Amino acid sequence: MSPTQPRILLIYTGGTIGMIENPVTRALEPFDFTHLIDNVPKMKMLNYRIDNISFEPPIDSSDMNPQHWVDITRAIEQNYDKYDGFVVLHGTDTMAYTASALSFMLENLRKPVIITGSQLPIGEVRTDGEENLITAVQIAAARTSDGEPMVQEVAILFEDYLWRGNRATKRSADNFNAFKSHNYPELAKIGLGINFHEEALMRHSHSPHTPLKSYCNLNTSVMVIDLFPGLRPDILRHQLATPGVKGIVLKTYGAGNAPTAQWFTEAVKEAVERGVVVLNVTQCVNGSVSRRYAAGNALACAGAISGGDMTTEAALTKLMFLFGAGYTPRRVSELLGVSLRGEITLHP
Ligand code: ASP
């Protein structure tokens, strides 16, 4: 191996990219890593050192859970010094949740963690998996002119774009461009070359020698409540009083608006007074929570915390991470408004 040959660790969790059709049910099922890699002979042309770790068995990402995120985090932490970059192969369904969770679980990350997958299995003639895999590996190996890793964060590579992981959302079940970050620009545009947007990439102010710190405690006492006209007071109260719940992502209308009826604001206020953190994020894919309308202001007065322009995936996993780190509800509420990993846009 030449001293400059990039060293990449592939972590295969499953997903469509490695699936094959069950001959009886005709449904796609996860399959092993050897099948996947045998279908990408072009990988050898890269002349990188590529090792792999595989979930046993590989899973459909609908089965992804926080223990899997811990397994991925540990795999990266244990191999951090041995590799230049990491590529996680993952199903698209929960990829944005995994990307968000990993971004919080890996602090002081100075190397690329690139998550990718595909819409068509790697064995299919028109697969998008081969291109996604090869591009992800190239991005994981990319360096700046100073020789530093080009990407120093968790990112999702899919088809034409590289997105910040905790800003991306799955937007299509059948388009090859399956992901989009609606509130943050792309980190790179993929065309004839890989055109990095350096001004959008995470750059750390701390010393490059600050060690990676991983957080493997996630608290899953969280839930999402999606508002809709007709939501009944008894049902909302029941949800807000779910035993053991510590944090709730409340998905509201437009710029963070909710019913102004007294029963609604009182129900939220009571939950907040019981110590539940209620985090207000918008149902819109683009834009931010604000106090522009009385309907949003009332919710803020009831004690709901603004989630700004965070995605639901980032909001939920940030709550899991902050409660898992042992912070009090008051401190969790403060940190929700701080950009920990570039997940929220802060306005002066
Ligand atoms: N159900 C699959 C998964 O998330 C979908 C995909 O990979 O595109 O594992």
Higher pLDDT, 4 or 346: 346
Question: What's the mean pLDDT in 62-78?
Answer: 98
Instruction: Say whether 222-336 and 7-214 share the same fold.
Output: yes
Identity of the amino acid at 33: F
| Ligand 1 centroid – CA 348 distance (Å) | 39
Q: How far apart are CA 117 and CA 158, in angstroms?
A: 7
pLDDT tens-digit series, residues 252-310: 999 999 999 999 999 999 999 999 999 999 999 999 998 888 777 899 999 999 999 99
Give percent of the chain above pLDDT 90. Answer: 89
CA distance 98 to 41: 28
Residue-by-residue DSSP string for 27-56: -EE---HHHHHHT-GGGGGG--EEEEEEEE
Which phi-psi region, left, alpha or beta, contains residue 60 (left: φ > 0; alpha: ψ -120 to 50)?
Answer: beta
Choices 3.40.309.10, 3.40.50.40, 3.40.50.620, 3.30.413.10: CATH for 222-336: 3.40.50.40
User: What angle do the packed helices 262-273 and 233-240 form, to 10 degrees?
Assistant: 10
- Centroid of ligand 1 to alpha carbon of 59 (angstroms): 9
At 291 the pLDDT is 82
- The strand pairing partners of 223, in sequence order, are 248
- Please tell me the distance between residue 255's alpha carbon and the centre of ligand 1 in angstroms: 31
Superfamily of domain 7-214 in the CATH hierarchy:
L-asparaginase, N-terminal domain (3.40.50.1170)
Does the CB atom of residue 132 touch ligand 1 within 6 A?
no
Residue 11 has pLDDT above 70, yes or no: yes
Q: Which residues are catalytic?
A: 16
Mean pLDDT of 107-124: 96
Ligand 1 atom closest to the Cα of residue 119 is 8
Convert the pLDDT of each residue in 224-235 to its tens digit.
999 999 999 999
Q: Is the CB of 93 under 6 A from ligand 1?
A: yes
What is the rounded distance in angstroms from the CA atom of residue 166 to the CA atom of residue 182? Answer: 11
> Where are the domains positioned within the chain?
7-214, 222-336
Cβ–ligand 1 contact at 62 (below 6 Å): yes
How far apart, in whole angstroms, are the C-alpha atoms of residue 248 and residue 222? 6
Q: Is the pLDDT of residue 348 over 70?
A: no
Q: Is the pLDDT of residue 347 over 90?
A: no
| 97's tokens | 């949740």
